[in-house]
Structure 1
Amino acid sequence: MNSQTKATNLQGGALQKNTNVSKPVSMASKKKWKDAGLFTLFVGPVLLAFTIIVLIPFFTGIYYAFTDWNGVTGNINWVGFDNFKYLFTEDKQFQASFLLTAKYTVVAIILTNVIGFALAILVTQMLKTRNILRTVFFMPNLIGGLLLGFIWQFIFVKGFASIGQITGIPLFEMAWLGDAKTAFWGIVIVSVWQGAGYIMIIYIAALQNVPQEIVEAARIDGANRWQILRHITIPMVAPAVTICLFLTTASSFKIFDANLSLTNGGPFKSTEMLALNIYTEAFVNNRYGIGEAKALIFFIVVAAITVIQVMYTKKKEVES
């Protein structure tokens, strides 16, 4: 009897241990399912919307880039790389727009960052009007690109002409939007005027994080303002420079609304940027396949340039 009782107790203990082990396992699995459910609940709708709005059109556009679809009818023929051969051999306007966009991007990146950084330094000084100045400099960024373009179109055409008649200054007597060279700089002026305020805000946040103890120590050692700016301020705001270069590079390459509202690519398509050229090809000329081929090339180039820029500036941050 004693041996039977001991065996029964051992079996019961083993069963109890197995039950105790299974409880944590089941609780852990329930927690995993609960976490997965919460993740799906919060991320699922956003992921679904991103898939429908971004991913599906993106991959569909890649497919259309290899077809001759006109964007209207249901006749879609696969043409392979014929669209890309046409762009690089026969479409001179696409090549001219690409070079013009590259030129505009370089100019806009430099001017927007330099002016934005200068404004940030100005409004971080101990000025009584610094808060008002921040608002004034940032306000152009709140105006839509199309509306801003039409406002500046009126200024270039009517306002400058009136000032030129009154003052006789040659700068205001020029046909700003009627000549290819001045029209290009008109687009640059509007874009920089709109974007510098946004870049200024990013630089302000970076400048406010520069330790004043280091700046004061440099002044005590006899460093002037230029030396402090070059050797202390700029290296410490390098992460902000990386962000601002990335933002201005992407926005400059993708300029569309100011180009459309100011010149619409004129005169004689001399100021037609790449985004406007793609829009015209796809939705005005009804050559959707060629338009998508241009857009795909555009995407690859912009992605490559931005990745290289971020990697290079990040490397400079580490070195500094």
Structure 2
Amino acid sequence: MKKSGNKAFLIMTVPALALFFIFHSYPALQGIFYSFTNYKGYGDWDLVGFKNYLNVFQDERALQAYGFTFKFAIISTLLVNVFSLVVAIGLNSKIKLHKTLRALYFLPNILSILIVGYIFNFIFTYFLPDIAKGLGIQALAENILGSPDLAWIGIVIVAVWQAVAFNTILYLAGLVTIPDDLYEAASIDGAGVWRKFWSITFPMIAAFFTINMVLSLKNFLMVFDQIMAMTGGGPGTSTESISLLIFRGGFEGGEFAYQSANAVIYFLIIVIVSVIQLRYLQRREVEM
């Protein structure tokens, strides 16, 4: 019986591990290797050592992309978690049709990011300016995606709108674990809404807050689809993220090895940021 169990285990796991190695691990290792060469994606190549890595730190376009990506990720992460928590608290209350509202709020998460991006591109380009002109609102009469200074705001709006759904579900999972007795006892002691939130709600869902913050920042640091659908990195390179720069330079610009080095650097940065963020927030959980 034990031998048949081991055989079944191998039959199920070996093909999965083989596919994972072929389509994930091997390409990643191959990319790391090519980052030490001058490979253009075709033809011959030679080893160049750490030259590509040093050039990344001297590339103004890459540094600009890093700056934009971190600005976008930090602002979006904060907005998503604020809105998600507010929505989750509202949906967790005993209001009518709260289950239906939960389903409606989750809809954006199941929509294709590219399709949502194209829809909002149309809204910002035609729909919103036409309405603003009709109402005489000059501040919204122009397409913000065409402005180098304002285009990032449109991307943030779309990214936050779609990401709120998933984070709300996680916060709801945390809120349902809080016993109602705690709120009843707090009400008897005269605690108000804010005191209940800071003394009961937030400490009890601290672990869910940590998960949401780490996942949100990681996902926003890898932003690609929204930018590709809405601005293509423009106007100019004002909304070009690191992921988009790596894609364009590596597959369209003949910089395969150079952008492979950029990808390795970015991977390490995301890992370091996530570990620091996770340890800090977990320490805060203990303090609460």
Shorter-chain TM band: over 0.9
Are 1:299 and 2:267 matched, yes or no? yes
Q: Deviations over 1:84-129 (max 9, x none)?
A: 121112x110000001111111101100111011110111111113
Q: Is there any run of 5+ residues in structure 2 with no aligned partner, and where?
A: none
Are 1:70 and 2:70 matched, yes or no? no
Q: Deviations over 1:185-217 (max 9, x none)?
A: 000000000000110000011001111111110
Letter in 1 for 2:15: P
Match in the other structure for 1:81: 50
RMSD: 1.3
- Give, in whole Å, the separation in 2 of the partners of 1:218 and 1:317: 21
Are 1:42 and 2:12 matched, yes or no? yes
Q: Is there any run of 5+ residues in structure 1 with no aligned partner, and where?
A: 1-29
Match in the other structure for 2:87: 119
Letter in 1 for 2:108: P
Residue 52 of structure 1 and its aligned partner are, at CA, apart by 1.1
Match in the other structure for 1:285: 253
Residue 131 of structure 1 and its aligned partner are, at CA, apart by 2.1
Residue 307 of structure 1 and its aligned partner are, at CA, apart by 1.2
Q: TM-score, normalised by structure 1?
A: 0.87
Residue 35 of structure 1 and its aligned partner are, at CA, apart by 4.7
Match in the other structure for 2:111: 143
Are 1:309 and 2:277 matched, yes or no? yes
Provide runs of 4+ in structure 1 moved above 6 Å: none
- Give, in whole Å, the separation in 2 of the partners of 1:119 and 1:203: 9
- Give, in whole Å, the separation in 1 of the partners of 2:247 and 2:136: 40
Q: TM-score, normalised by structure 2?
A: 0.97
Letter in 2 for 1:60: Q
Match in the other structure for 1:19: none
- Give, in whole Å, the separation in 2 of the partners of 1:40 and 1:283: 37
Match in the other structure for 1:57: 27
Letter in 2 for 1:305: V
Q: Deviations over 1:33-82 (max 9, x none)?
A: 55543332222222111111111111111001111111122x12111111
- Give, in whole Å, the separation in 2 of the partners of 1:280 and 1:248: 24
**Equivalent pair of 1:68/1:78 in contact (CA under 8 Å):** yes
Larger radius of gyration: 1
- Give, in whole Å, the separation in 1 of the partners of 2:161 and 2:127: 17
Letter in 1 for 2:180: Q
